[in-house]
Amino acid sequence: MNITDMLETFARLADEGMNAKNTVKVFKMIGIDGYDEKAIDSFVLWSDCLPVSDDMPYTPEQRNLHILWESIDRVPLGINVAFAIPFRQIIAKHLFKKCGDGFIANEGCRFNYGHNIEVGKNVAWNHCCYFDAKCSIKFEDYSMITEYTKIFTHSHSESDHTVRSYAPVVIGEHAKVYTNCTVLPGVTIGKGAIVATGSVVSKSVDDFALVAGIPAKPIRERKTEGKEFFNHYMLKNNMFQV
């Protein structure tokens, strides 16, 4: 079976509903053998063990989609972006609260509650980002998150680790968060804003501001060069995006 046929088959199975039977079929298609429906149903995810899991549990279908998201990074086929990026797009369309067209996620991107994630059109996540979606995270159109960035929507009491607080995060339209940044709960990154490499963002960022540092502080306005639309396509020739 060629890549196109495999992706068409996966899309059909996802539309049918990613039950354990269909998950086993996808496992075999991507090169994972030795699992039956009973084994799939026995999987326990990290998100199943977190305190908020009782308040917003995954459905069996959502859990299986999350299993497949994690699994594609653990097989050789996951190296082939011609398969892996569309594979993740299909998962996101069925798992996320919302997912627009042209979504790109590179390998190693992880999250805990996909059904709390909203993605606009032509959103890009680069290598090995982490999204703590215990509270909602929204990525607006053409926003870009680059390598090793982490977004958190919860924090802990200093005296009792089991006491937590939660606040949503929004990454605005055409915003760009550069490598190895950390975005903390309750932050909104404004439209067209830029977060410089290595920054820790503890407060919301104004539209078109460039912030940097620990904690991140305004440095200057973004250089727009008179443009109203910024080219945030991640790959050459706008591959996988629209």
The answer on 62 and 18 residing in a single domain is yes
Residue 128 in domain: yes
CA–CA separation, 14 and 95 (whole Å):
10
What is the predicted pLDDT for the residue at 118? 98
Looking at residue 122, what is its pLDDT? 97
Average confidence (pLDDT) per 10 residues, the chain, 242 residues:
95 98 98 97 93 90 98 97 97 98 97 97 97 97 98 92 91 97 98 98 98 98 86 90 88
Token representation of residue 116 = 């709390």
Residue 137: enclosing H or E segment and its boundaries?
strand 137-139
The reply to whether 22 and 129 lie within a common domain is: no
Phi, psi of 26 (to 5 degrees): -70, -40
In a domain, 230, yes or no: no
132 and 200 both lie in a single domain: yes
Give a yes or no: residue 34 inside a domain.
Answer: yes
> Is 16 within the bounds of a domain?
yes
Gap between the Cα atoms of 187 and 171, Å rounded: 8
Same-domain pairing of 23 and 72: yes
Same domain, 148 and 206: yes
**For residue 97, which amino acid is it?**
K
pLDDT at residue 52, rounded to an integer: 87
Dihedral sign for Cα atoms in the order 227, 229, 232, 238:
negative
Does one domain contain both 90 and 101?
no
Write out the residue range of the structural domain in which residue 162 sits. 97-224
**In this predicted structure, what is the pLDDT of residue 107?**
96
Q: At how many degrees (to 10) do helices 81-95 and 60-72 cross?
A: 160
Which one of 44, 71, 95 terminates a domain?
Answer: 95
Q: Is there a single domain that holds both residue 184 and residue 213?
A: yes
Which of the listed residues 64, 79, 95 is the one where a domain comes to its end? 95
pLDDT of residue 230: 86
Note whether 217 and 96 are within 8 A (CB).
no
Give the H/E segment covering residue 183: strand 182-183
Residues 216 and 127 in one domain: yes
Closest CA to 110 of 86, 74, 60: 74
Q: Is residue 235 part of a domain?
A: no
Contact 116, 136 (CB under 8 A): yes
Residue 239 lies in a domain: no
Same domain as 183, residue 107: yes
60 shares its domain with 109: no
Residue 33, SS3 per DSSP:
coil
**CATH number of the domain bearing residue 209:** 2.160.10.10
The structural domain count of the chain equals 2
Domain final residue pick, 95, 124, 157: 95
Is 178 found in the same domain as 66? no
103 in the same domain as 214: yes
CB under 8 Å to 234, separation ≥6 — which residues? 104, 124, 126, 144, 241
| 150 domain residue, yes or no | yes
